[in-house]
């Protein structure tokens, strides 16, 4: 058995030399544990005039409706991640049309990239993170039961894009 003290890992909260904010640093070796925002990718997917929504089977906001979206994986492009999430959550094959919006949500350390997409086929089914998936006409969207503000932003931005033909990338609403 060694008499060496146990390795403590990044446990000291301090401002590392050359930095300007507190980080967790290992007092034994100096390793700095950087924490960075999470990247969320998803898509507003349509079949004709109908929009795909998924009723969440997981927290946060289980039981509420959302776009197919989730965390980007390592070594994955953002558009591939959006397509993967659509398949995982709704068994939906999609064709990415372009970037709809980039939403900065610092209070939860997220950056969301939401794409415009069309379904390759209307065949959809709930994946393990969805209780139900459905194609909604605009007037059928369950607005009071949307899971997150960014879902409403994306739907509003998508409708604006379709109505005006201006599909430039949107940002957080004021």
- Give the ranges where 15-148 is alpha helix by DSSP (H): 78-90
8 Å CB contact between 121 and 45: no
ω before 60 within 30° of 0 (cis)?
yes
pLDDT at 162 over 70: yes
Per-residue pLDDT reduced to its tens digit, 133-159: 999 999 999 999 999 999 999 999 999
8 Å CB contact between 26 and 12: yes
Distances from the Cα of 43 to the Cα of 36, 64, 90, 146, angstroms? 23, 17, 12, 15
Phi and psi at residue 48, to the nearest 5°: 65, -120
What confidence tier does 5 reach under pLDDT thresholds 50, 70, 90? low
53 plus 138 within the same structural domain: yes
69 in any annotated domain: yes
8 Å CB contact between 42 and 115: yes
Which DSSP letter does residue 146 get? Answer: B
Element spanning 56, H or E:
strand 50-56
What value does the mean pLDDT of the chain take?
A: 95
Cα–Cα distance, 163 to 61 (Å, whole number) = 30
Give the pLDDT of residue 161.
Answer: 98
Give the rounded distance of the alpha carbon of 6 from its chain centre.
Answer: 39
Contacts of 48 (CB under 8 A, 6+ apart): none
Q: Which two tokens stand for residue 14?
A: 């301090």
Q: Residue 122's domain is classified under what CATH number?
A: 3.90.79.10
| Least confident span in 15-19, 53-57, 126-130 | 15-19
Give the pLDDT of residue 107.
Answer: 96
Which DSSP letter does residue 31 get? Answer: -
- Residue linked to tokens 């997220």: 110
Per-residue pLDDT reduced to its tens digit, 25-52: 999 899 999 999 999 999 999 999 999 9
Per-residue pLDDT reduced to its tens digit, 49-68: 999 999 999 999 999 999 99
49 plus 28 within the same structural domain: no
8 Å CB contact between 40 and 80: no
Provide the residue range defining the domain that includes 26: 1-35
In this prediction, residues 74-95 reach a mean pLDDT of 98
Q: How many domains does the chain have?
A: 2
Q: Residue 21's domain is classified under what CATH number?
A: 2.20.70
Give the rounded distance of the alpha carbon of 19 from its chain centre.
Answer: 29
pLDDT at 116 over 80: yes
134 plus 60 within the same structural domain: yes
């Amino acid at each position: 058995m060694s008499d060496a003290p146990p390795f403590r890992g990044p446990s000291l909260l301090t401002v590392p030399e050359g930095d300007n904010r507190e980080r967790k640093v290992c007092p034994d070796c100096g390793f700095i544990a950087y924490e960075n925002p999470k990247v969320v990718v998803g898509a507003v997917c349509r079949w004709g005039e109908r929009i795909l929504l998924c009723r969440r089977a997981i927290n946060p906001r289980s039981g509420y409706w959302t776009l197919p979206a989730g965390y980007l994986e390592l070594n994955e492009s953002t558009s591939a991640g959006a397509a993967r999430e659509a398949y995982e959550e709704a068994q939906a094959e999609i064709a990415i049309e372009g970037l709809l919006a980039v939403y900065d949500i610092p209070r939860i350390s997220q950056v969301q990239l939401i794409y415009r997409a069309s379904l390759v086929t209307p065949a959809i089914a709930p994946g393990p993170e969805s209780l139900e998936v459905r194609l909604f006409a605009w007037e059928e969207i369950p607005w009071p039961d949307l899971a997150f503000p960014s879902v409403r932003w994306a739907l509003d931005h998508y409708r604006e894009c379709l109505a005006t033909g201006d599909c430039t990338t949107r940002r957080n609403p004021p």
